[in-house]
Amino acid sequence: MGIKITNLDVSEYLDTEESIASYLSAVIEEGNPQLLLSAISDVAKARGMAKIASDSGLGRESLYKALKPESKPRFETILKVLNSLGVKMQFNAIDKIEEKKVTTNKTLKTVKNINITQKPIARGNIRKVKTVIENSK
C-alpha cells in the first residue's frame, strides 16, 4: 500500500482576519515578493475573488491578472486588495543583534545586544566584564 499525497490548498484554512494576518506576516518574513504575491492570492481566493474585486474597486479580471504568478502589480493595487481582505501593512524596526566576543583566559563567550567599550580583557579581569554585562541589562 503506497502513500497518497494530495495538494495542500492554504485558502481552505484562512477563515479569520487573525489567520490571514499571521499567514501574510510569516510569508513577508521570507523577503520574497513573488511568495508574498502568491500568499495574497491565496487569501483572496479564500475570501472569494469576486467579493475582493468588488470591495477593492478592481475588476475581477484585473484582480486575477494582478495576482497571477510573475505579475508586477502596482503598490496601490496591493494596498486596495489588502484593505478589502481586512488586513493592513505594519512596519517594525529591524532588530540588529550585535554579537561581541569577550575572550577570557581559555573561555570564549558571546554576548548579545551589549556594547562592550572596554579594551580586550586581560587575565583576571572577568569580574569587570561581568559587572558591565549585569549593569547593561
What is the per-residue pLDDT for 96? Answer: 66
Residue 106 in domain: yes
Residue 4 in domain: no
Residue 1 in domain: no
What is the per-residue pLDDT for 23? Answer: 93
pLDDT digits (tens, 9 = 90+) for 86-112: 898 888 787 765 444 444 444 444 444
Residue 94 in domain: no
Residue 3 in domain: no
My answer on whether 64 and 116 are in the same domain is no
My answer on whether 14 and 76 are in the same domain is yes
Residue 90 in domain: no
My answer on whether 81 and 17 are in the same domain is yes
My answer on whether 64 and 119 are in the same domain is no
Q: What is the domain extent for residue 22?
A: 10-85
What is the per-residue pLDDT for 95? Answer: 75
Q: Calculate the dihedral angle through the C-alpha atoms of 19, 22, 28, 30, rounding to the nearest 10 degrees.
A: -110
Other residues' Cβ atoms within 10 Å of the Cβ of residue 88 = 9
Strands 107-112 and 99-104 turn out to be antiparallel
Name the stretches of the chain with pLDDT < 50: 98-137
My answer on whether 69 and 128 are in the same domain is no
d(C-alpha 17, C-alpha 86), whole Å: 6
Could you tell me the pTM of the whole model? Answer: 0.64
Residue 112 in domain: yes
